[in-house]
Chain A
Amino acid sequence: MELTGTQKTGRARKFETSTMVRSWANTNPFSEGIASVHLRAVGEKLWVTVEGAAKGSPVNWGEVAVEAIYAENAASTRGMAFVARYHFDFLETLLEGNINSGLLVLAAFHTFRDGSCRANYFSREFFREVQR
């Protein structure tokens, strides 16, 4: 599966993204962050869906377009990382994911936009491939 690496430019290299376009479940079943991630390709775009973990019940964050795809190095066209962003009313979450040894490693940077006293926080979780 080949996709454009940078969706906001017209001259980006095409990336092969099959290692990412899968369904992923958190390796930690007791996570209070992200329970699962689903990546799918539509045309020349990747889309990501996140389910949060809320006291044992999944909470669907919805689906957003991946902002950019990244190769494993500057000479490669094998896409193995992505960046996506969720905008909630009170919170913005920047997701940065990469494939490593068959796992999806997902870093999430949460920035509060509601003026509360909560600290912006960071999480890093690991996901294994699952059949959907």
Chain B
Amino acid sequence: MKHITLEQLQERAAGTGAFLDATALSGSWVNTNSSPSLIRHIQLEPGQNQLMMRVAGAEPGLPDDWGVAEAQPFAENAASGLASAFSASFDLGGIESLLQGYVVKGVLVVVSFTRVKDGRERSSSFGKEFFYRVP
């Protein structure tokens, strides 16, 4: 299998490390929809080379509190030091939700890939929800 050519990837200055500033993602985020389908609230706090993410759920049949998971931060390119997106996975017992998030103009866009693993009467489903930051 061939892989991505290195020429596609911009090298960072030597010695700067891969630590990403997650200020743009950190904080408390509330769904713009007052009757959300999957997620009501998100808390993102910086950890060591990752974010700690807590989710308050909204879907009946899933927990109200999804607990805390590590969210991996991502930059816009390989040379950047600023995190503008994340990926995280929550195991909800028979359901796994893979979340991707990114910030656009101050709005956190969260795309969810919610996968049924226990055969319950629910399709694995895709969703997109929007969040605003609160103090």
Contacts and interface: CB of A to CB of B under 8 A. Distances in A.
A106 B108 CA distance: 18
A110 B73 CA distance: 10
B2 A119 contact: no
A-side interface mostly: strand
Nearest to A15: B123
B105 interface: no
Contacts of B11: 117-118
A62 B79 contact: no
A31 to B, nearest CB: 10
A78 to B, nearest CB: 9
Interface stretch (A21-29, A39-47, A64-72): A64-72
B111 A88 contact: no
Interface residues of A, number: 53
A83 B8 CA distance: 23
A6 B117 contact: yes
A125 B57 CA distance: 28
B18 A120 contact: yes
A5 B124 contact: yes
Nearest to A60: B2
- Which 9 A-B pairs rank lowest in CB-CB distance, beginning with the nearest? A11-B119, A81-B126, A62-B1, A122-B74, A122-B85, A88-B3, A71-B123, A70-B126, A119-B75
